Amino acid sequence: MPANLAVMLRSLLKARQVASVTELRFLREVARSLGAGGTSVARGSLRSAPAMKGRRRTLKCPRCQRRFARPVHLGRHLSATHGIKRKRAA
């Protein structure tokens, strides 16, 4: 029995070491994906993580206070939320 216990203990220690290395690799990957100026996940929710890199949200919905970066997104919001269909240019 003591021999089996020693083998089990060694395998548990090895599994713990592998899990620790995997966790460290994951945390480095998350830090790299957030970038140098990114917001830490620990400080807030995932939604407040990195802000939009490309375009600012300059298009404002005429019915509510939401803003969008692209006309397509604004149009989808209008039709889904406010029931306004898009006028087609022919």
Q: Which two tokens stand for residue 58?
A: 């300059």
Helices (H) and strands (E) in the chain, counts: 2, 2
pTM: 0.37
- What are the boundaries of each domain within the chain? 1-34, 56-90
pLDDT string in tens for the chain (90-residue length) = 567 888 899 999 999 999 999 999 998 888 888 875 555 555 545 555 455 567 788 999 998 989 999 999 998 998 899 887 766 665
